[in-house]
Structure 1
């Protein structure tokens, strides 16, 4: 699905960068054609500066999104979820980052979660970066401390895993 959205903007690399940025950050577009995050407007100049573009490109991308019914529905309903990984330590949680060998392979999440469940750890948050949107896709699992030593080694030993970062 993401590749279809990106493909929609193949004729305009600059608008394609805007769309990719919106998707990577969970930003939407409101009915007025303004970029927003959970209903809060984000100035087009801020988006343009973040991606090294021009405000007019951001504005025209938002209008183009609204002009296409399939994209309109997606971006009007896009929502952001907080990423607790950067504050996990302060909250008393541990972060396990799993780098897959092939992010398109099925079963990576299930295998890692089975290891976590076998150790009776409470998962506070889990998310993945989409392999179509991220150059280095990963699985991020946030669990309550303490993290038993065997967990990391068991996840690292999974056949789908390239690297585990704690």
Structure 2
């Protein structure tokens, strides 16, 4: 997806940053040119502050999006993925497995979840970072209960896995 988007903004780094932040946060651009998180309108000023640009960069990015039918369609249909429970997992008695892997290696999610299920632990959430949007994308799996530390080696044995954290 990002390859289809980035060429429209590559000559304008501020606009590229805004477009990236919109996608990263799961924001969408409505047909009225306003930016939303779900059905909550996000002000240009708030997004500008969060992106480190001025308000005009937000507006010019939205104008480029609205003028291009393909971009308008993509950005009109982005929705937030929901709250990732990683930061509150320990408070809730859940476990977290974070896997950093070689981008583009197939089967990592399947093999990681299989290892967890073999321990008779259910999964509450799984979130895989997008390698085109993140420098070091991670697979984050929230489990019903903590996974034992001795499982680290089993995760590291999955082809393409570079690093594993369990907490």
**Bucket of the pairwise TM-score, normalised by the shorter protein:** over 0.9
The answer to whether the 8 A contact 1:30-1:39 is kept is no
Q: Name the structure 2 match of 1:130.
A: 130
What CA RMSD, in Å, does the superposition of the two structures yield over aligned residues? 1.4
For residues 153 and 20 of structure 1, the distance between their equivalents in structure 2, rounded to whole angstroms, comes to: 35
Offset of 1:35 from its aligned partner? 1.6
The answer on 1:11 being equivalent to 2:14 is no
Q: Name the structure 2 match of 1:68.
A: 68
**Aligned residue pairs, count:** 165
The answer to whether the 8 A contact 2:18-2:58 is kept is yes
Offset of 1:152 from its aligned partner? 2.6
The answer to whether the 8 A contact 1:17-1:51 is kept is yes
Gaps of 5+ in 1: none
The answer to whether the 8 A contact 2:128-2:139 is kept is yes
Normalization by structure 1: what TM-score?
A: 0.92
Q: Name the structure 2 match of 1:94.
A: 95
SS in 2 for 1:8: coil
Normalization by structure 2: what TM-score?
A: 0.92
Offset of 1:153 from its aligned partner? 2.6
Q: Name the structure 2 match of 1:118.
A: 118
Offset of 1:65 from its aligned partner? 1.0
SS in 2 for 1:87: helix
Gaps of 5+ in 2: none
The answer to whether the 8 A contact 2:127-2:140 is kept is yes
